[in-house]
Amino acid sequence: MLYFAYGSNLNHFQMKVRCKDSIFLKKINLKDFRLTFRSKYRAADIEKKKNSIVPGALYEISQSDEKKLDIYEDFPMLYKKYYFYYYDKKVMTYIMVNKKPFKYPTEHYLNIVKKGYKDCNLDRKYLKKALASIWFISVKDFKICLIKKIIFFC
């Protein structure tokens, strides 16, 4: 089965540990979607957006790998499966069930994703664009973040 990764599963080491049968095939772009981060886990998600793209990795995975990914992705509670076609071949990926507002990813998670972008030779401008969503937080949220930083540095 073909699987499209766009978040932490871009990281080749992490993917191989999680899915021992997985084989990285190539980098591809998913058209008319954009990358974002959300949920209490501050994890990657994709959502439809005309004229946008999400760069990612195309993997060949086994049925056993798919079952492991289902557990990791908390399927069907946090993520559901989404299918699309790439050159007449069916590809599976995961998208979040509940489209909560943007949440900036943790430094640890973001570093895993950044390493994945490097592993797959993806253009980081799309990751930077997704992270720029931080400017759309409310003033109330900004004050909370600012207060936490002041307390943290005291």
Q: Does domain 2-153 have CATH number 3.10.490.10?
A: yes
Say if pTM beats, i.e. exceeds, 0.75: yes
What are the extents of the domains in the chain? 2-153
Q: pLDDT of 87-139, one tens digit each?
A: 999 999 999 999 999 999 999 999 999 999 999 999 999 999 999 865 444 44
Strand segments, DSSP code E, in the chain are 2-5, 23-38, 43-60, 79-86, 89-96
| Residue 145 confidence class, pLDDT cut points 50, 70, 90 | very low
Find the Cα–Cα–Cα–Cα dihedral 42, 27, 3, 39, rounded to 10°: 10
pLDDT of residue 149: 43
Average pLDDT, the chain: 89
